[in-house]
Amino acid sequence: MERKDSKKNVEAMDSEALGNGDRSLRALLALEAVVCASEPVTLAQLSDRLQAPKATLLRMLTALERHGYLIRELDEKTYLPGPHARQLGLHALRNQAVLQRHRLILEELVAELGETCNLTALDGNQVLYIDRVETREPLRLHVEPGTHVPLHCTASGKLYLASMSASQRQRMLAHLPLTRQTDRTLTDAALLETELERIKARGVGIDSEEFVRGMAAVAVPITDAAGHCVAALACHAPTARKSLNDLLDCVPRLREAAALLAESMTVREASPVKAAS
């Protein structure tokens, strides 16, 4: 798969940096190319994208791999973001200065909708609560920022799974325990896959009492300039107060807030890297 790139100034900056032989920036650009690719990429693809000699680039990739910023697939030919790269991204989202901007948007949204709203990120094979603003209603689900919840039975989690490419999702589900949380949790992989295809088509993650009985939730993506999901905005409520359909009626407002959150994150669009075939 190939990303569109409309930012010629980014290309010019990258070419200039590489031409000047700035090794530190070149390593960052290599890391960025792997992180922003929709599939694992090869040395040859990165060399073509960065216009860097394979031998030089291999030394950089090896160093990034040694320090946990990249990992290689089992085929030893393609690269993926490593645990340190993922943690770096999560720390950036949890930066207090950044969170202050996010919180203003969340507070306004909760005041309008009257229900708890969460900012989440994908952390390995779980959902991480980055920030949340709770409703003032006495009946509510209290979850602290920093908490991890499952992918397969939460609105944000299913949205992340649905946003993945087919091969990424297959790799994730192969190692994901589909633990039953309630009698509504989807624990059959085929049924979950069907649900994820519906979510992908709709662009909205849903949780119909699958994580906590009596709680429903919806989630919309927060996307980068290329349209890839980098975080999620979710709203949940007790079903005694709002049904899933009631929450789905809130989706247009959630999308507006998600667009503002995306702007506040100022996610830069990376230049295209073709994925491994």
Is the four-CA dihedral 118, 122, 127, 129 of positive or negative sign?
Answer: negative
276 membership: H or E segment, kind and range: none
**pLDDT, tens digit, 9 for 90 and up, residues 71-119:** 887 677 888 787 777 777 766 666 666 667 788 999 999 999 999 999 9
HSE-CB of 132 using CA atoms within 13 angstroms: 22
CATH class, range 8-81: mainly alpha
Binning the chain into helix, strand and coil, the percentages to the nearest 5 are 45, 20, 35
The predicted model scores a pTM of: 0.71
Report pLDDT for 266: 58
What pLDDT does residue 91 have?
A: 66
Q: Give the architecture-level CATH label for domain 89-265.
A: 2-Layer Sandwich (3.30)
Task: Identify the CA nearest to 231 among candidates 262, 257, 253.
Answer: 262
| Structural domain boundaries in the chain | 8-81, 89-265
Q: What is the pLDDT of residues 195-232, one digit of tens each?
A: 999 999 999 999 999 999 999 999 999 998 778 888 99
Nearest Cα residue to 190 out of 151, 150, 152, 149: 152
pLDDT tens-place string over residues 20-29? 447 778 888 8
